Amino acid sequence: MLQAIAAQWLQVRRISTTLPNISPELDEGEGEAITLALETGERKILLDEREARRVAQSFGLRVVGTLGILYVSKKQRNNFSSQTIVRCHD
């Protein structure tokens, strides 16, 4: 992750405050991701958990899951191995 930040492929951003009407059933990170998308005007968000996806969609966000990212990557003929995916997960 530090390499991705150093390469400016990944940015760390703080949110001003978590929206009060976001479901308390969500993990803190999911709620913050939804809030950040709304604060920055992003319309797409990467979420896998069913409740997080439902909440994001209720705010008008377009949800993409991990499998969707892998599908698009494969469709665009990006070459990656399962080893790469495991390293990304760590």
* C-alpha pair distances (Å), 89 with each of 15, 26, 31, 48, 86: 24, 20, 20, 14, 5
Q: Which residue has the higher pLDDT, 74 or 2?
A: 2
Element at 40 (helix H, strand E) = helix 28-40
Is the Cα torsion angle 61, 42, 1, 22 positive or negative in sign? negative
What pLDDT digit, counting tens, does each position of 15-35 carry?
A: 877 777 778 888 888 998 999
pLDDT tens digits, one per residue of 48-71 = 999 999 999 999 999 988 877 777
pLDDT band at 89, cuts 50/70/90? very low
The pLDDT value given to residue 59: 92
Angle CA 78–90–27, to nearest 5: 105
**Hey, where are the domains in the chain?**
2-63
